[in-house]
Chains A and B, each alone.
Chain A
């Protein structure tokens, strides 16, 4: 608990002590961390979703459409202008993504396994195509431009306020995911992941629990996607695609699967800034370095970065033991 407190304190102080450009790397990292936590949670029920980025897209588009300024007229197809406040839009983004997750999950989690993997992948691709080809409602290739979030008259246009919004979202997600993991729900998920047949024969309704965690995951991804959209002030069809879904998985792999919250957050905080920096410096550098890091972790650091303290501790103990016997 002390550890968590220290980290939190650090997180709150960080934006005031680092130069602002660093925040441009931190904010997306925080928002990706949310997706990573959801991927991890779904993995802990034994399923691998290749479409979490798609829920970012849904949340982003939903929020964009509900909060877009008057200049975006849905291409003339819809005369209603919503122009809702941004935070309501973000919430609705989460809800929209959750509803879609519920539907897709109910259909595809019946089979699960490789099929689920591939269908979620297909789903992400599908969304991209639909968004790209239907300009009037979704803004086509140019997407939808939106406003910065505001509370009443206070517009959160700076990096620092937005950092806290993102941090708040991460903390909320972490608390929920962590609570689920520690509760009987988490125990049931682990049972399903460890031995599906035995779990079913013990009376556990596999579908119910898979759909629950997939829907919850969808909600948080939708929320993160909406926040992302308002941070970038625009959403286009290409921002949340198959590549991003893979990157979420890779961030989780690097951070470590065995912890519900620390691993995903760590993975995102390490890889996302590195990736963004590389993209600005060298075309192709990001996928290359990501790939190398992932391979290194997979072969040499099997439990992910989260394992480092344990490994260090073990190394120290070993050295102490050997000096004692010598």
Chain B
């Protein structure tokens, strides 16, 4: 039985002027996998995410999601199909509370049109209640129930990043691209994040995880891909990849090896 590849990146390159941030990347992700993406700074990890979610089109190659070519779709259209990402920087809506952030991210769950919203019809009010309920469940899952009405910008750094993950969950991902979720966190926070991502994965979300922290990668990922200078230099079982001489050489001199 062939598992359906939820994401296929075919020979994708992305150039900025003369610089090839991505150079002939081939990547295939099956539904239900949890895959790690590693590589030194500047290896193209962020650019890969940006191309997959639609911020930049690839200069060469194609991206397929659930069997459909998505290169012409905007990020919001891709999100509507279940392709969701988190951000490494600029993670939240800083002018709102914790609850506001989740509600705004729940946008796709609302079906009422603008007129119904404007006149606040019973249908609209019912929807607001339902979505509010789901939002509170999400907050509870991530442990934010007690700080619902705290301004997102006032949360400690680690909590802000976890809120970013909660925000992504509100968008109903089928494929979730997680961008460096544990940066700057303490051991306890990291463990919590790892546990929650694992739970999301168990609920059926396919996950692509970019991360520097090796332990996190090894703990979560079934498969590990390593990029260097925009090219894929390794793709396989995490422990084998970590021992691959090409990978070690790529990291030589950089401080990301934990």
Kindly state the separation between the CA atoms of A201 and B124 in the bound complex, as whole angstroms.
23
Q: Is the CB of A195 within 8 A of B93?
A: yes
Q: Is the CB of B87 within 8 A of A188?
A: no
| CB within 8 Å of B: which A166-198 residues | 179-180, 183-185, 187-188, 190-191, 193-195, 197-198
Interface size on B, residues (CB 8 A): 34
Q: Is the CB of B76 within 8 A of A206?
A: yes
Kindly state the separation between the CA atoms of A198 and B128 in the bound complex, as whole angstroms.
21
Contacts of A183 in B (CB 8 A): 117-118, 120
Q: Is the CB of A201 within 8 A of B104?
A: no
Q: Is the CB of A190 within 8 A of B118?
A: no
Q: Is the CB of A198 within 8 A of B93?
A: yes
The contact of A205 among B76, B85, B112, B167, by CB within 8 Å, is B76
Contacts of B96 in A (CB 8 A): 190-191, 194
Q: Is B74 an interface residue (CB 8 A)?
A: yes
| Interface footprint category on A | 20 to 34
Kindly state the separation between the CA atoms of A206 and B79 in the bound complex, as whole angstroms.
13
Kindly state the separation between the CA atoms of A280 and B218 in the bound complex, as whole angstroms.
77
Q: Is the CB of B93 within 8 A of A212?
A: no
Q: Is B22 an interface residue (CB 8 A)?
A: no
Most chain A CB within 10 A, of B105, B110, B128, is at B105
Contacts of B13 in A (CB 8 A): none
Kindly state the separation between the CA atoms of A188 and B117 in the bound complex, as whole angstroms.
11
Q: Is B103 an interface residue (CB 8 A)?
A: yes
Contacts of B114 in A (CB 8 A): 185, 212
Contacts of A204 in B (CB 8 A): 76, 107
Q: Is the CB of A199 within 8 A of B104?
A: yes
Q: Is B43 an interface residue (CB 8 A)?
A: no
Q: Is B147 an interface residue (CB 8 A)?
A: no
Please, which residue of chain A has its CB at the minimum distance from the CB of B172?
A: A203
Q: How far is the CB of B198 from chain A (nearest CB, A)?
A: 23
Kindly state the separation between the CA atoms of A20 and B79 in the bound complex, as whole angstroms.
58
* Between-chain CB contacts (< 8 Å), 8 pairs: A180-B118, A185-B114, A187-B103, A194-B96, A198-B93, A199-B93, A201-B84, A202-B76
7 additional A-B residue pairs with CB within 8 Å, beyond A184-B128, A202-B108, A212-B114: A183-B120, A187-B103, A198-B90, A199-B104, A203-B76, A203-B107, A204-B107
Identify the A interface with B (CB < 8 A): 179-180, 183-185, 187-188, 190-191, 193-195, 197-206, 212
Identify the B interface with A (CB < 8 A): 53, 55, 74-76, 79-80, 84-85, 87, 90-96, 100, 103-105, 107-108, 110, 112, 114, 117-118, 120, 124, 128, 167, 170-171
